[in-house]
Amino acid sequence: MMKEKLVPFENQKFRCLQCGECCRSRNVPLTMEDIKRIARYKDPGEFVVIFDERKLVLDRREWDSGCVFLYDTDCTIQKDKPVICALYPVCISDKPLIEGSNPVQLKDGIGMYVYVDSSCKGVGRGDVLDLEEIKEKSLLVRNQMHATDLGGLVGWYIDENEDD
């Protein structure tokens, strides 16, 4: 299992090698929008885990710590995967995780810290990571994360299942 090794974003290249390692080694935070999309495949009770009494994360299998949607090295929800997965190997934070890091400004003027997981074997290959696309997804993640909580999940889940 790979261990995350964050380095500051510096226009690194990346091409996914579809090794599946990133799907076996981390907790993936979910937004309500992620949950609604993924609920077309499985009931949220089968893939959402409450972490630290408040965060909603993607469940992992006990036998290999792999994501419940990972089949061999393929993501079975590729087109609807969580936005955090779509960002990988980029990691974002509203606080600096490495001393001397500088934030990038998002469209709303708020700064986010952008890092790359250099333990990913696809880093250094392929095309240069697109900072504008990263900024767009970062804004989406930040806004959706602030709108996601356990109460919202419970309310949505009850509404979705009232007719059953």
Position 158 scores a pLDDT of 80
pLDDT (tens digit, 9 = 90+) per residue, 113-145? Answer: 999 999 999 999 999 999 999 999 999 999 998
pLDDT (tens digit, 9 = 90+) per residue, 67-77? Answer: 999 999 999 99
Position 164 scores a pLDDT of 57
Mark the ranges of the chain whose per-residue pLDDT is less than 50. none
Note the pTM of the prediction, 2 decimals.
0.88
Position 148 scores a pLDDT of 84
Position 2 scores a pLDDT of 67
Q: Give the C-alpha distances (Å, rounded to integers) separating 66 from 52, 85, 105, 133.
A: 20, 13, 34, 27
Please count the other Cβ atoms lying within 10 Å of the Cβ belonging to residue 141: 21
Domain ranges of the chain: 6-150
